[in-house]
Amino acid sequence: MSETHSTLLYGGVTALVVGLSIFGWRRSRGGRTYPPGPPAHPLLGNLKDIPTGGSEWLAYEQLGKRIGSDVIYMTALGSHLLVLNSFEAARDLLDKKGSLYSSRPRLVMIKEMMGWDWNLILMSYGKLFTAYRRVVQQEFSAPVVADRYRPVITREVHNMLGQLLRAPEGLVKHLKTMAGAVIMMVTYGHQVTSMDDEFVKLAEQVREHGEKTPGSNIVDIFPFMKYIPAWFPGAGFKREAMLKYRLAMEMRTAPYAEVMSRMAAGTAVPCMVSRLMQEDLPNENVDKGEFVKNCGGVVYSAGADTTVAALANFFLAMTLYPDVQARAQKELDEVITRDRLPTFEDRQRLPYLNNVVKESLRWKPVAPLAVPHSSIEDDEYRGGYIPKDTTVLPNIYAMLHDEAHYKNPNEFDPDRYLPTSDNPEGEPDPSRAAFGFGRRICPGRFFADDSLFLTISSALHVFSIKKPDGSKGVESVTWSSGLVSLPSPFPFAIVPRFAGAPDLLNVSEPV
């Protein structure tokens, strides 16, 4: 999901909960008992308890420990919030009761004023959501990814390795180019060669304007204000939304139009959009072009940022844990040798490397608070009443750092997944939480897993990733708030691991 999406989504959730808190609330109503939560001020409710300013997932984790509950309930003038800090609670509600907890909050600014209601990730639960999800899930099922998309992933990973060899200081830029190139090719059949690509620049422009959006929008607090004329004093949010609406519309429409033009000329590269235009729709009440455009748009907007964040965290971990890197490279040398690059067919013979991929997902989750769910009916959990339209935040970070499941959770330790006498099955695979829950689980999870495996194995095979002498450790790094959490710039050095590495990439080593 793009940073535009991320900033606005959390801005909306914060506005819905924090903004309404100023009017006060009552914990019990009609004699009902609610789930555990912090004591509330008679007028301000839980205003002081709702974290803002960064690392909200850590604050929610600490709040849960303070009140002794993995489920935290807060409310404010009809707005209800439920934070789930454990996998067990998330499984009970979001998996086992998926029919009740699979919708999304209203989010007036993003979905109604900026026009992102077409996006599968934000779409409210219903028949239209089911139709879109079925198509996207089929396009990114495990067999389809293996058969159709692995050649694209392989080509772009190899291109990225060459760029990294030439200019290692541009690590994050290269990762963004690679992720964007993969997404644009599989979705639109469009080849990206650099960050100067017209569609990549358009997406970056959308992100740039998204960063300027304040964390709390008044229209999310008072939805009736969406009807105020744009010229009215104090209606700057409406003019802002109009600009973002146009940019987001262009981001969704421009690459789709290119595919249509190429199909008409008979020069289209096979891709998701071109295939869907030739298939029957699962929902006859939607215009076919609009349906396909929206399917392409959700993949375009959602696919790249999560991959970049996970890989940035992996490179950071390698600078901090050289012993892990050395063990993975020893395995690669034994299985792959130094005469070629890793392939997907090698994966079953690389157990330690696979655990490095798992740990990269767990150590610093790319979506620490996931995407908020919303309940569609009243419910009860562990004797506590959960009202209809409660916003539910799955704290993925807390789940993947739960000491009940993960020993020394702040350490990057791939061995944690190995069976032991105390734990015959090893510690839980983080993918059970990292990709979401229930009917909202990420449909692109197999595609993401393949991308991470090949990039991580190839980078470790070719390069040594080091922390420069005298540089600080993880304490100097911060992670951004928002749906996708990116690490701040960190010091690193990336050099070829052996003399023949440049030959494997078919490029000349830089002088």
Instruction: Give the whole-angstrom CA distance, residue 374 versus residue 105.
Output: 5
Higher pLDDT, 446 or 511: 446
Taking the model in full, what pTM does it have? Answer: 0.89
pLDDT for the residue 207: 65
Q: For residue 47, what is the DSSP state?
A: G
Map 239-306 to HEC letters.
Answer: HHHHHHHHHHHHHHHHHHHHHHHHHHHCCCCCCHHHHHCCCCCCCCCCCHHHHHHHHHHHHHHHHHHH
Top-tier CATH class for 3-504: mainly alpha
pLDDT for the residue 116: 84
- 390-to-13, 93, 479 alpha-carbon distances in Å: 11, 12, 27
Helix, strand and coil percent figures for the chain, each rounded to 5: 55, 5, 40
* Percentage of the chain modeled with pLDDT above 90: 60
* Percentage of the chain modeled with pLDDT above 70: 88
Identify the burial level of 403 via C-beta atoms within 10 angstroms of its C-beta, where 0-12 means exposed, 13-18 middle and 19 or more buried.
Answer: exposed
pLDDT for the residue 7: 45
Beta bridge pairs of residue 73: 82
Contacts of 114 (CB under 8 A, 6+ apart): 8, 241, 244, 245, 248
**Residue of 251, 255, 223 whose CA lies nearest to 119:** 251
pLDDT tens column, 378-400? 999 999 999 999 989 999 999 99
Q: Please say whether the beta carbons of 219 and 225 come within 8 A.
A: yes
Contacts of 140 (CB under 8 A, 6+ apart): 149, 443, 444, 446, 447
pLDDT for the residue 22: 36
pLDDT for the residue 32: 84
pLDDT tens column, 331-347? 999 999 999 999 999 99
Instruction: Give the whole-angstrom CA distance, residue 388 versus residue 333.
Output: 56
Instruction: Give the whole-angstrom CA distance, residue 202 versus residue 197.
Output: 9
Enumerate helices (H) and strands (E) in the chain, giving the number of each.
19, 8
The tokens of 480 are what?
């951004």
Instruction: Give the whole-angstrom CA distance, residue 465 versus residue 488.
Output: 17
The tokens of 216 are what?
């709390």
Region 104-128 average pLDDT: 87
Cα angle 371, 406, 328 (rounded to 5 degrees) comes to 95
- 387-to-43, 91, 377, 461, 504 alpha-carbon distances in Å: 21, 19, 7, 52, 59
What is the C-alpha end-to-end distance of the chain, expressed in Å? 38
Instruction: Give the whole-angstrom CA distance, residue 326 versus residue 385.
Output: 51
**Residue of 269, 294, 268, 270 whose CA lies nearest to 281:** 294
Instruction: Give the whole-angstrom CA distance, residue 184 versus residue 293.
Output: 13
Higher pLDDT, 193 or 8: 193
Q: Please say whether the beta carbons of 352 and 345 come within 8 A.
A: no
How far, rounded to the nearest angstrom, does the alpha carbon of residue 191 sit from its chain's CA centroid? 23
pLDDT band at 509 (very low <50, low <70, confident <90, very high): very low
> Is residue 502 within a helix (H) or strand (E), and if so which, with residue range?
helix 501-504
Query: Letter for the amino acid at 382?
Result: R
Region 260-279 average pLDDT: 93
Least confident of 209-213, 230-234, 296-300: 209-213
Instruction: Give the whole-angstrom CA distance, residue 3 versus residue 457.
Output: 27
**At residue 211, does pLDDT exceed 60?**
no
pLDDT tens column, 453-478? 999 999 999 999 999 887 776 778 99
Q: Please say whether the beta carbons of 371 and 475 come within 8 A.
A: no
pLDDT for the residue 209: 58
Dihedrals phi, psi of 190, to nearest 5 degrees: -105, 125
Domain residue spans of the chain: 3-504
Identify the burial level of 234 via C-beta atoms within 10 angstroms of its C-beta, where 0-12 means exposed, 13-18 middle and 19 or more buried.
Answer: exposed
Instruction: Give the whole-angstrom CA distance, residue 311 versus residue 465.
Output: 13
**At residue 155, does pLDDT exceed 90?**
yes
pLDDT band at 228 (very low <50, low <70, confident <90, very high): confident
Q: Please say whether the beta carbons of 222 and 235 come within 8 A.
A: no
What does DSSP say about strands 71-76 and 79-84: parallel, antiparallel, or unpaired?
antiparallel
pLDDT for the residue 216: 43
